[in-house]
Structure 1
Amino acid sequence: MTDGPHPAEALHPSPRSARRRLAFVMLGGVLAIIGVLAAGYHIATRPVTLRIAVGPAGSDDLKVVQALAQAFNNQQHSLVRLRPTQTDSAQASAKLLGDGKADLAIIRGDLDVPKNAQAVATLRKNVTVLWVPPAGKAKGKKAAPRITKITQLAGHRVGVVGRTEANVNLLKVILQQYGVDPGKVAIIQFPVNEAVDAIRNQKADAYLAAGPVNSKITSDAIAASMRDGGTPTFLAIDSAEAIAQNHPAYEASEIPAGTFGGAPAKPEEEVKTISFAHHIVARKGVSDSTIAVFTRQLFAIRQTLKNEYPLAAKIETPDTDKDATIPVHPGAAAFVDGEEKTFFERYGDFIWWGLMGLSAMGSAGAWFAGYLKKDERIASNSQRDRLLDMLAAARNCDSTEELDRMQSEADAILRHMLECFEHGAVEEGALTTFNIALEQFHNAVADRKALLMSMPQNLLRAGAQFRAAGG
């Protein structure tokens, strides 16, 4: 006997290397599939941060947006988060959105709306309040004619609360509707933080403020204009419907009696006026699913903020009509109409293509596995042929040592065939055929050994020499 690998192993390499390669390939495929699924799930469920432009500093809009951002960011399963970007005005916020530097913005509906803006929600509605302070009791002076109508504002000073140019434009729209030349009216603007002092010092003959019905800024301005126990005169905008017809950003509205306090009620009766909205708008490029989720979160959380920020409870759904002043974002419309897509509806195509890819990968893996088993099939066929050759050799063998060696080789071949069968390289029918050949080989070896044991040694040597000479 010699050292080294068994003859069967030397002629036919072990299938372990192929099996190891197949295991690595299958493991790599499984890890790749898991990685793709995990990455897809992470991308689909990770929170999206939207930049929202809002201003100016200290405004109710900014406070509400900051509260919304904090509430969104504190939610455990919030799919959308907000990152407020403070601006100087609603007009500046609109510009940021138009320039693509913001995903959302709070804008006034009566300003120029960016072409890429689409409505998501109505944050609040503002009413226009025009009033005249009560006449003072000045001794020795003739009382000036009392202003009771908008048409009487020509030649007078009108103070506008707030530094935004939009409120001045609003006043001009009202004046023009009543045939009053804005150039004949002295328009004075007061910053919000200076308005109360300016009104107390009688800097103007009439005043305009625009804000929510319960606006503290408007209420404080009206209170500051009261003197000598008199009550202000509220100027009704009777042509509100006509203004709304000519300027779609405005709507006809009313100021309820007693809105700004009682005893006596201010106003004493309902006053007609015009209103306009502050909108939450989204950039057209933001995905429908993201805006749908944002809208759903917005309306789910607004009630929790109403105690601290009453304006949050006033948030309304957008106008989904096709002729709306600001077209609605498809994502917000899907939420309002109850047509928001589910996870599978949004990603169904990707899932379908993913399954197709996995199927293709499985087919490729099966082909590759079969390719890796090709060497094992070739080896098993050659070893079967080797066993048949040994069967023929065993019938003519004159040495029991040689028979023992072939017997050991047959055992190694059997071990290899069983391993190939376990790996699927050898089918059951082929293994059955091999077992028949192996049984015939063992029978031939046993018969030959019995014959050799019964024959004299000199006859065996003579027979071996005869075959050697004939060969």
Structure 2
Amino acid sequence: MPVPPSPRSAKRRLTFITLAGVLAIVGALVAGYYFAMRPVTLRIAVGPANSDDLKVVQNLAQAFNNQRNSLVRLRPVQTDGALASASLLGDGKVDLAIIRGDLEVPRNAQAVATLRKNVVVLWVASAAKKEKGKKAAPGITKIGQLTGRRIGVVGRTQANVNLLKVILRQYGVDPAKVEIIQFPANEAAEAIRNQKADAYLAAGPVNSKITADAIAASAREGGAPKFLAIDSAEAIAQNHPAYEASEIPAGTFGSAPSRPEEEVKTISFAHHIVARRGIAESTVAVFTRQLFAVRQNLKNEFPLAAKIETPDTDKDATIPVHPGAAAFVDGEEKTFLDRYSDYIWWALMALSAMGSAGAWFAGYLKKDDRSVNTSQRDRLLDMLTAARQCDSMDELDQMQAEADAILRDTLQCFEHGAIEEGTLTAFNIAIEQFHNAVADRKALLLSMPQNLQRASAQFRAAGNA
């Protein structure tokens, strides 16, 4: 009986499958790391053109791009102002936006940082020129005297007009009985020089150049300006949470002479950097970390960057803080392992399942080897019986060669793990018995005369017939 052909080595097949699985896992890990660590570009809405806010964002974007291994980059989206920026964020067209805290905040906005705080400055020129043929208007010393007067608002944004109306109502002044005149920031000095208003309002940082230039223009035209204190700042803040009670330090707008001469009470509001709800916590945390790291580098070259502050993390904050920014502020920013521990756990589970599947498949591949080995063992036992009755030396030699081939295949199966050590031991006993039977039969045949051997063979052939 010919020896059944041995199947392709299970070891080679298992090695190939294992190598393919390892390469697939390594590829998945490399791809995951690449996607996790590649820079994310966030679109940030800011405006208007030539504003300080836009300049700050442009400098931040450039600093982010110049940073090695920067994980977050910025792409400024210029708008007409804070209201337009808030609208873009509310529509989901940008990821970040610079908005005013006293305007309507989009529902999907969450605070990331305070870009800057602005104070409201109200002042009156001390000595207005008397128009020919008209009696000079009495001096204005407090806000309640603004009824029937002209008030100039620096800047074209409607938000500053709304802010003025909030202040007027707090002092019982009907905004309808006040003439409000708006003019661009770059025309403030000319408007003051032409006395287009009796009082002026400007809103900006404490060290705002626009406000300082407007007050300087008032001083040149009519002497030291009179600053109007907002004594009810706390009441306004109580009724309008977007505002806070604040002060303008003495000498803020000049020290010779001091402008103002003493501290003036006022209200303030903030410009915020907000993120769209839904942006990954890890992305916002990285952005916040980069923001405050860059701020330290930029504040010497670009002082406006020094105004950036951490957001209010209180639960009752006017604008709820983004979880990523809160994690950075509270020192609870997640590490790489924290962020991707779930993915790593699932990857390990998948690897374990793949190992189990690989073990099953390896066993399945060895099934053919075990089946062949079983048939070869049965063949060996049949040859053992046949060897004890064989009368031909040639047949015994053929069976011996076949047994050697079976032994060779069996040892290969053992090396490849297709059979256990116990099976190999039993096979060794069988092969040893076979070799003993062949040796004994050959010795017997050699001791018998040839004519007796032929007669025995004929007798056995006749019996088989």
| Deviation per residue, 1:423-464 (Å, 9 max, x gap) | 111111111121122222222222333333333322222221
| Aligned equivalent of 2:86, options 87, 94, 109 | 94
CA RMSD of aligned residues (A): 2.0
1:49, 1:404 → 2: CA distance? 80
Q: Which of 179, 182, 205 is the aligned partner of 1:212?
A: 205
**Cα gap change, 1:140 to 1:96, in 2 (>3 Å):** closer
What per-residue deviation string (whole Å, max 9, x for no partner) do you get for residues 329-360 of structure 1? 22222222222233333332332232222212
Is 1:193 the counterpart of 2:186? The answer is yes
The residue identity in structure 2 corresponding to 1:40 is G
Residue by residue over 1:295-321, the C-alpha shift from the partner in whole angstroms, topping out at 9 and shown as x without a partner, is: 222222211110122121221111122
The range that moved more, 48-57 or 390-399, is: 390-399
Q: Name which of 343, 346, 351 aligns with 2:339.
A: 346
| Residue identity in the other structure for 2:150 | R
Task: Name whichever of 80-89 and 353-362 sits farther off.
Answer: 353-362
Whether 2:340 is the aligned partner of 1:332: answer: no
Structure-1 residue corresponding to 2:355: 362
Q: Does 1:146 align with 2:131?
A: no
Q: Which moved more, 1:282-291 or 1:87-96?
A: 282-291
Q: Distance in 2 between matches of 1:195 and 1:140?
A: 24
CA drift at 1:137: 6.0
Distance, in Å, in 2 between the alignment partners of 1:73 and 1:405 is 81
Q: Which amino acid aligns with 2:22?
A: V
1:63 aligns with 2:58: no
2:274 maps to which residue?
281
The match for 2:101 among 93, 109, 114 is 109
1-side partners of 2:321 and 2:272: how far apart? 11
Paired residues of 1:122 and 1:279 also in contact (CA < 8 A): yes
1:185-217 Cα shifts (integer Å, max 9, x gaps): 211111122223222332222211110011111
Deviation per CA, 1:68-109: give whole Å up to 9, x if none: 222223322322222221111100011111111112111101
Corresponding residue of 1:22: 14
Partner of 1:391: 384
State how 1:118-137 maps to structure 2 within 5 Å. 118-135=110-127
Q: Give the TM-score, by structure 1 length.
A: 0.93
Please give the alpha-carbon distance, in whole angstroms, between the structure 2 residues aligned to 1:228 and 1:465: 145
Question: 1:7: which partner in 2?
Answer: 2
- Other-structure match for 2:394: 401
SS in 2 for 1:101: coil
Alignment check: 8 A CA contact 1:134 1:227 kept = no
Aligned to 2:256: 263
1:418 and 2:397 matched? no
Distance, in Å, in 2 between the alignment partners of 1:307 and 1:401 is 103
Q: Distance in 2 between matches of 1:177 and 1:364?
A: 76
Does the CA contact (< 8 Å) of 2:46 and 2:76 recur in 1? yes
* Unaligned 5+ runs, structure 2: none
- 5+ long unaligned stretches in structure 1: 1-5
* Cα distance in 2, alignment partners of residues 252 and 237 from structure 1: 9
Q: Distance in 2 between matches of 1:78 and 1:419?
A: 56
Alpha-carbon deviations, 1:355-399, whole Å to 9, x = none?
222212211211111111111111111111111212222222222
Contact 1:15 1:420 in 2 (8 A): no
Shift in Å, 1:143 = 4.4
Q: Is the 8 A contact 2:285 2:327 kept in 1?
A: yes
Would you say 1:300 and 2:300 are equivalent positions? no
AA partner of residue 7 (structure 1): P
How many angstroms apart in 2 are the aligned matches of 1:445 and 1:378?
26
Of 115-124 and 223-232, deviating more is: 223-232
1:226–1:232 contact (8 Å) kept in structure 2: yes
Equivalent residues of 2:128, 2:195 under 8 A apart? no
The answer to whether the Cα contact below 8 Å between 1:319 and 1:328 also exists between their aligned partners in 2 is: yes
Matched, 1:85 2:80: no
Instruction: Output the CA distance in 1 between the equivalents of 2:13 and 2:126.
Output: 96
Between the aligned partners of 1:451 and 1:394, the Cα distance in structure 2 is 12
Note if contact 2:128-2:222 (Cα within 8 Å) is conserved in structure 1. Answer: no
Distance in 2, Cα, partners of 1:240 & 1:139: 35
How many angstroms apart in 1 are the aligned matches of 2:223 and 2:285? 51
What are the Cα deviations for residues 203-249 of structure 1, in whole angstroms up to 9, with x where unaligned? Answer: 22221111001111111122222226721111111111111111111
Q: What is the distance in 2 between the residues matched to 1:111 and 1:376? A: 78
Q: Match of 2:446, SS?
A: helix
Superposed, 1:152-163 pairs within 5 Å as 152-163=145-156
In 2, the alpha carbon distance for the partners of 1:436 and 1:131 equals 113
Letter matched to residue 382 of structure 1:
S
Tell me what 2:68 maps to.
76
| Residue 249 (structure 2) pairs with residue 240 (structure 1) | no
Deviation at 1:280, TM superposition (A): 1.0
**Residues 136, 227 of structure 1: 8 Å contact kept:** no
Q: Counterpart of 1:377? A: 370
Deviation at 1:67, TM superposition (A): 1.6
Tell me which of 298, 301, 305 is aligned to 1:312: 305
Distance 1:305 1:466 in 2: 112
Q: TM-score, normalised by structure 2?
A: 0.94
| Counterpart for residue 3 of structure 1 | none
- Separation (CA, whole Å) in 1 of partners of 2:96 and 2:129: 51
Structure 1 Cα separation of the partners of residues 131 and 6 of structure 2? 121
**Counterpart check, 1:443 vs 2:436:** yes
Q: How many residues align?
A: 463
2:45 to 47, 53, 63: 53
Tell me the amino acid that sits aligned with residue 53 of structure 2.
D
Q: What CA distance in whole angstroms lies between the structure 2 residues aligned with 1:76 and 1:428?
A: 59
